[in-house]
Chains A and B, each alone.
Chain A
Amino acid sequence: MSAHPILAVEGLEKRFAVGGGFLRRASQVHAVVGASFTVAERSSLGLVGESGCGKSTLARCLLRLVEPDAGSILFEGEDVRRMDGPALRVVRRRMQIVFQDPYASLNPRRTVLQTLAEPLRVHGLARGTEIEERVAAAIAEVGLPADSARRFPHEFSGGQRQRIGIARALVLAPRFIVADEPVSALDVSVQAQVLQLLEGLRERHGLSVLFVSHDLGVVRHVCDRVAVMYLGRIVEEAPVPEIFDDPLHPYTQMLRAASPVPDPKSRFALPRVVGELPSAMEPPAGCAFHPRCPAAMPRCSRECPTLSPVGTGRRVACFLHSPAP
């Protein structure tokens, strides 16, 4: 793993106004709270958490599909947040996104050829027959039949559509890809194929990937490092083996326990944590996880732990693992 980060995010914040209206104050949802992390060149970082924890919002902030409220996003050393129209257009050639729902992510009225050729035309990267050649190459690369180009999205299965979505993200030859739950909408049998495809592409093209998922098992196969998110905050970040063998944060332990283990003998006792994800509109005071945490201390409901380094190469936001005040 190279030490050079392709992406360095610092203190990223996103708040949404919810409800409100005429003479009525909108309440705010703090979707992403002070997120800081890096993605090393040619590596893949998994971003896991329950539905609604803000992981998709965070992912979309990186591409400025959602405008962040604060923080910096350094992509190859340049701050994406400070970019205006033309610079943003150029950087968008180099960072792309694969969406969760393969049924919503393709324009139903455009053929595969049109969908894949449009980015090349808009960025002036190819002309004439070269466009068709590059589209054909992209179609072959994601493992679709050669006659796919003239067909419409509805003629394909979910897994095939996801391949089209991946081809669209790759056609501009990006350096970094945000994969926003790319397999959660697919059948389990198809998931493995699409994951293998993504892995192969990552190796062949030397891509860096931010892999958003709610499924720790999926992340285990495709990621080098994992960041665990809870109610808008990153609570633990560590290399994949550490997360699975020795999760530190009680929430990571809970996620780990919820993820099936192939070998029954290797299963070890972890606290089972129940309860629902609290509303992001009124997050609990202190550490947001304390109402569900088996190891909660009085301090946890008053103060919020910060994400601090533990050992080498991992960070955790929990008073169990931080020095006493």
Chain B
Amino acid sequence: MSATTASLEPARGWTHRFRANPTSWIGVAIIVAVILAAVFASWIWPLDPLEQSVVDRLMGPSPEHPLGTDSYGRDVLARLLHAARISLLIGVLSIALAMAVGSAIGIAAGYLGGWFDAAVTSLLDVLLSFPTLLLGLMVVAMLGPSIENLVIAIAITELAPFARVARAPTISLKSRDFVEAGRALGFSDLRLVVVHIIPNLLSEVVVVASLWLATAIRTEASLSFIGLGVKPPTPTWGGMIREGFENILDAPWLAVAPGVAIMVTVLGLNLLGDGLRDAIDPKVRRD
């Protein structure tokens, strides 16, 4: 009992612990920079990411094109910045969807228990047994490539972690005295879940979201890389790597630039997520 009490002790100071951790600051800085770059892409580098110029194809880095041009003569820096929009958008939307649906499934399973819980848990195990990329590939292949379908596909691949993370605390919270007290006071199940259970497990779900956002961005890039992502000419990081791959020997910057962008973004999200987790979960902190 006392262990769960500890993890539920209020947020007194978790923001302080987060701020005191230098690595979480690096994560925050990276993510803020990536978001700003995506939002202000047209102001930062006002070249059109879609404008082709056969004369300028496969040019190396130069003052006019700091990251060179691709095989259609398009400016790589402009494409990289605009691709950040698509990648972040798909990542955030798919995680939001997975978080909403997955947590709802997990909370329902944990709260209702019994055969429903057993059935849901088994289905989640099946879902988890597929590699993320393979599952995403199957769903996109069934639905057809588009931004909406990509969001749905990536969300499906990440349902299970959210359901699991929401289910476990629901089970321990529903037998806690303050939930029992609510039941004794005549509160409805819906009120108990929404008002008394969800706010107490939200922090854990948010930590998982920040960690899995990195995976979502990677999955999007991988699907784009194998040609199941957003259709050309819309720039995405995965798509840019694939296009650059054709000229990897003549113009390595084409594949390296979006690769570094993905790596930096994923690193930033992981640092941020780790920082959040360490700050919120006192059990991990002690180790």
Q: How far is the CA of A153 from the CA of B195 in the complex (A)?
A: 16
Q: Mark B1-30, 1 if CB is under 8 A from A, else 0.
A: 100010011101000000000000000000
Residue of A nearest to B187 (CB): A122
Shortest CB-to-CB span from A178 to chain B, Å, is 9
Query: Which has the most chain A C-beta neighbours within 10 Å: B176, B178, B183?
Result: B178
Contacting A107 at CB < 8 Å: which of B12, B183, B186, B196? B196
Shortest CB-to-CB span from B100 to chain A, Å, is 20
Q: Is B185 an interface residue (CB 8 A)?
A: yes
Residue of A nearest to B202 (CB): A109
Contacting B177 at CB < 8 Å: which of A88, A99, A109? A99
Contacts of B184 in A (CB 8 A): 63, 65, 92, 95-97
Contact B1–A101 (Cβ < 8 Å):
yes
Shortest CB-to-CB span from B49 to chain A, Å, is 45
Contacts of B195 in A (CB 8 A): 118
Q: How far is the CA of A88 from the CA of B176 in the complex (A)?
A: 21
Shortest CB-to-CB span from A40 to chain B, Å, is 22
Contacts of A101 in B (CB 8 A): 1, 177
Q: Is A299 an interface residue (CB 8 A)?
A: no
Interface size class of A (residues with CB under 8 A): 20 to 34
Q: How far is the CA of A188 from the CA of B19 in the complex (A)?
A: 40
Contact A106–B183 (Cβ < 8 Å):
no
Q: Mark B161-183, 1 if CB is under 8 A from A, else 0.
A: 00000000000000011101111
B228-286 contacts to A (CB < 8 Å): none
Q: Is B199 an interface residue (CB 8 A)?
A: yes
Q: How far is the CA of A304 from the CA of B285 in the complex (A)?
A: 54
Known: A104-B1, A122-B191. A109 touches B199 (CB 8 A): yes
Contact B186–A119 (Cβ < 8 Å):
yes
Q: How far is the CA of A109 from the CA of B173 in the complex (A)?
A: 13
Contact A119–B1 (Cβ < 8 Å):
no
Q: How far is the CA of A119 from the CA of B12 in the complex (A)?
A: 26
Q: Is A37 an interface residue (CB 8 A)?
A: no
Q: Is B200 an interface residue (CB 8 A)?
A: yes
Contact B185–A118 (Cβ < 8 Å):
yes
Q: Is A302 an interface residue (CB 8 A)?
A: no
A70-112 contacts to B (CB < 8 Å): 88-90, 92-93, 95-97, 99-101, 103-110
Contacting B9 at CB < 8 Å: which of A65, A97, A108, A118? A108
Residue of A nearest to B4 (CB): A104
Shortest CB-to-CB span from A176 to chain B, Å, is 12
Contact A104–B185 (Cβ < 8 Å):
no
Contacts of A63 in B (CB 8 A): 184
Contact B10–A109 (Cβ < 8 Å):
yes
Known: A99-B177, A168-B185. A108 touches B200 (CB 8 A): yes
Q: How far is the CA of A95 from the CA of B10 in the complex (A)?
A: 30
Residue of B nearest to A109 (CB): B199
Contacting A122 at CB < 8 Å: which of B176, B178, B181, B186? B186
A159-201 contacts to B (CB < 8 Å): 165, 168, 172
Contacting B10 at CB < 8 Å: which of A123, A154, A168? A154
Contact B181–A123 (Cβ < 8 Å):
no
Residue of B nearest to A65 (CB): B180
Q: How far is the CA of A223 from the CA of B37 in the complex (A)?
A: 71
Contacts of B8 in A (CB 8 A): 108
Contacts of B185 in A (CB 8 A): 92, 96, 118-119, 122, 168, 172
Residue of B nearest to A120 (CB): B185
Q: How far is the CA of A97 from the CA of B180 in the complex (A)?
A: 9
Contacting B186 at CB < 8 Å: which of A89, A106, A108, A109? A89
Q: How far is the CA of A123 from the CA of B1 in the complex (A)?
A: 31
Contacts of A153 in B (CB 8 A): 10
Contacting A104 at CB < 8 Å: which of B10, B176, B182, B199? B176
Contact B186–A97 (Cβ < 8 Å):
no
Shortest CB-to-CB span from A227 to chain B, Å, is 21
Q: How far is the CA of A103 from the CA of B1 in the complex (A)?
A: 10
Contacts of A122 in B (CB 8 A): 185-188, 191
Contacts of B176 in A (CB 8 A): 104
Shortest CB-to-CB span from B11 to chain A, Å, is 8
Contacts of B200 in A (CB 8 A): 107-109
Contact A104–B187 (Cβ < 8 Å):
no
Shortest CB-to-CB span from B194 to chain A, Å, is 12
Interface residue ranges, B against A (CB under 8 Å): 1, 5, 8-10, 12, 176-178, 180-188, 191, 195-196, 199-200
In the complex, besides A88-B186, A109-B200, 19 extra interface pairs with C-beta distance below 8 angstroms are A65-B180, A65-B183, A90-B186, A92-B184, A99-B181, A104-B176, A105-B177, A106-B178, A107-B199, A109-B10, A118-B182, A119-B186, A122-B185, A122-B187, A123-B186, A153-B10, A154-B12, A168-B185, A172-B185
Give 8 nearest A-B pairs by CB, closest first: A105-B177, A92-B186, A89-B186, A99-B177, A104-B177, A119-B185, A107-B178, A108-B10
Q: Provide a sorted-by-A list of 10 A–B residue pairs whose CB atoms are within 8 angstroms.
A: A65-B183, A65-B184, A99-B177, A104-B178, A106-B178, A108-B10, A118-B195, A122-B185, A122-B191, A153-B10
